[in-house]
Structure 1
Amino acid sequence: MYRWLKRIALMLTFALALGACSRMGLAYRHLDVIIPWTLSDYLDINGEQKNWLNERLKEHLSWHCTTQMPGYLDWLDRLQGMIASNQVTDAALQARTAEAKQAIAETAREITPSAVELLQGLNDQQVAEMNEAFAKDQRKREEEYLKPSLAQQIKERDERMQKRLTDWLGPLNTAQQQRVTAWSTTLGEQNTQWIANRVHWQKLFSAAVAQRQSPDFPQRIETLLVNRESLWTPAYRQAFANTEAQARALFVDLMAQSTADQRARLLKKIEGVRKDFSDLKCLKAAKQA
């Protein structure tokens, strides 16, 4: 769950936002990937821990579906309204992002006690394996995102964004393609600060887990999961603000350049996401209660 919600926090663009939304239905059908953070990528938990976690996940999912999902449907309604009226503005995007960040914080706060309890039950071998997985993650991301030349990084960022946009809008016209390329170029060496901040957070997390029996451990984990921005490096804080602003500007321009067919396709895709959410059994049960 946290992985998906973290992505929702960054949905400054329709391509990225809706790409994240489309994975929610899959997540609800696969409880093993809906965890407080990307724990499955970094930690090998035993059978007893898995059983405990699955039970907690069911409780968290029930809470999330009945108390949070209705708000997501309202959020999608507002998103559709912006597009249908062709009123995609910087102010509107800032409002949608603020709403998403609030939703993330609420969910992160809800699952933090379970995260604390699980982490406190880890043995030293599991913690060592987690730290090695963090190091492996760092090497992998540096290889993928930092080793290529800056020109190649910009090119790959451009291609990734155009691919996402094409999925939601259909083929981009020449003006839109040029605008995406300009956006990617403007971001420059963004990958450097992003990965450096990720490593910084992982080090803080590892340091906290190393002292998981200390009295202040629950508060440290809450800060790491709920108030992550307070731990950002100064360089990344500045880079992220710029990235958000550039993303908003990009999509305001792209929607201004969009055709009626592109907007119709986008609205249809959003409606599909909304239907997936509305059809969740837990949500239907909540409405009938």
Structure 2
Amino acid sequence: MSRWLRHIAFVLTLILALGACSRMGLAYRNLDVIIPWTLSDYLDMNGEQKSWLNERLKEHLTWHCTTQLPGYLDWLDRLQTMVATNQVTDAALQARTEEAEQAIAETAREITPSAIELLQGLDDRQVAEMNEAFAKDQRKRQAQYLKPPLEQQIKDRGERMEKRLGDWLGPLSPTQQQRVVAWSNALGDQNTQWIANRVHWQKQFSAAVAQRHGPEFPQRIETLLVNRERLWTPEYRQAFAKTEAQARSLFVDLMAESTPEQRQRLLIKIEGVRKDFSDLKCLKAAKKG
């Protein structure tokens, strides 16, 4: 349900944001994979629903490409300037994060009416499939992120981050590697709150869909899609703020320790993402128009 938002908004921290950049162009080339609000991962749609969905998806992607992508290019320009001038600060990262949050909200608002219409057309069998898929998703994530001992969770998180950073900065120095380890340790049992909140959201979504023909359904879905943070558990709200602050601190420290070669590699990678966006046919058509 949130996959599209992850693709288009670079998530909510710069590191995760950078990790999402390379998938952005892929999203436009694989429309059937990144359908944002279709539950395509959770249920089997009939032919009529798929046909309707494909048309709506084309409309939304055209809207997104022509109205939102120019802003992403500007966002990448600001990111490049931060790196090139060695001005990667906590305040600058907060500003980039706020811009990403605004992008998430704007796109969520755009797609919500279609999401509501799609969900209202589901039959009971499809809703049951969706709920079972949610349960399967929960079991999978709990097995992957919660079943291992906490020490292993922390180790795995650090390794995932180091791999992600390596794609953008190249090999990390021993000092940078130690900083990643410290970052992962500082997050502690964050996996617990993350998954608990995910389950909490899915349960509320299922409850809303169960009442999909009721008068309050559109408003409930809008809250679930556009104002998700209002529904966060208190524990996750606190954990999220900590996670976001830790991510900013990590990136500030890594860039302070970065070599000229690492910064150049990062600039080249960002420019590659920018070129992928600029080369999209829909964006070129919008510029000509």
TM-score range, shorter chain: over 0.9
Q: Tell me what 2:29 maps to.
A: 29
Q: Distance in 2 between matches of 1:64 and 1:45?
A: 24
Residues 170 and 265 in structure 2, CA contact (< 8 A), matched pair in contact too:
yes
Superposed displacement of residue 38, structure 1? 6.8
Q: What RMSD over aligned residues (CA atoms) do the two structures have, in Å?
A: 1.2
Does residue 13 (structure 1) correspond to residue 14 (structure 2)? The answer is yes
**How do residues 173-188 of structure 1 correspond to structure 2 at under 5 angstroms?**
173-188=173-188
The runs of 5 or more residues in structure 2 that have no matched partner are: none
Q: CA deviation at 1:11?
A: 3.8
Map of 1:74 onto structure 2: 74
**Deviation, structure 1 residue 9:** 5.5
Q: Is the 8 A contact 1:43 1:126 kept in 2?
A: yes
Look up the SS of the partner of 1:32 in the other structure.
Answer: coil
Per-residue CA deviations over 1:216-245 (Å, capped at 9, x if unaligned) read: 111100000000000000000000000001
Q: Which amino acid aligns with 2:13?
A: L
What is the CA–CA distance in structure 1 between the aligned matches of 2:6 and 2:173, rounded to whole Å?
Answer: 31
Seq. identity, %: 81
2:117 paired residue number: 117
Contact map agreement 1:44 1:126 (CA 8 A) in 2: yes
Q: Report how far residue 152 of structure 1 moved.
A: 0.2
Does the CA contact (< 8 Å) of 2:157 and 2:184 recur in 1?
Answer: yes
Assess if the C-alpha contact under 8 Å between 1:3 and 1:38 holds in 2: no
Query: Counterpart in 2 of 1:95?
Result: 95
Q: Deviations over 1:234-257 (max 9, x none)?
A: 000000000001111000000000
Offset of residue 36 of structure 1: 2.8
Tell me if 1:263 matches 2:263. yes
**Cα distance in 2, alignment partners of residues 121 and 18 from structure 1:** 37
Structure 2 CA distance for partners of 1:167 and 1:9, relative to 1, 3 Å? closer
Q: C-alpha distance in 2, partners of 1:122/1:11?
A: 31
Aligned equivalent of 1:160 = 160
SS of aligned partner of 2:111: helix
SS, match of residue 22 in structure 1: helix
Distance 1:5 1:87 in 2: 27
TM score, norm. by length of structure 1: 0.97
Where does the alignment leave 5 or more consecutive residues of structure 1 unmatched? none
Deviation (angstroms), 1:56: 0.1
CA distance in 2: counterparts of 1:67 and 1:94, whole angstroms: 23
Structure 2 matches for 1:142-153, cutoff 5 A? 142-153=142-153
Structure-1 residue corresponding to 2:219:
219
2:189 corresponds in structure 1 to 189
Distance 1:71 1:19 in 2: 19
Residue 235 of structure 2: aligned partner:
235
- TM, length-normalised to structure 2: 0.97
In the alignment, which residue of structure 2 is the partner of 1:131? 131
Size of the alignment, in residue pairs? 288
Distance 1:127 1:204 in 2: 13
The one-letter amino acid of 1:214's match is: G
Runs of 4+ in 1 over 6 A off after TM superposition: none
Separation in 1 of the partners of 2:68 and 2:49? 26
Whole-angstrom distance in 1 between the partners of 2:27 and 2:266: 22
**Equivalent pair of 1:34/1:57 in contact (CA under 8 Å):** no
How big is each residue's C-alpha offset from its partner over 1:6-25, in whole Å with a ceiling of 9 and x where there is no partner? 363634133x2122111111
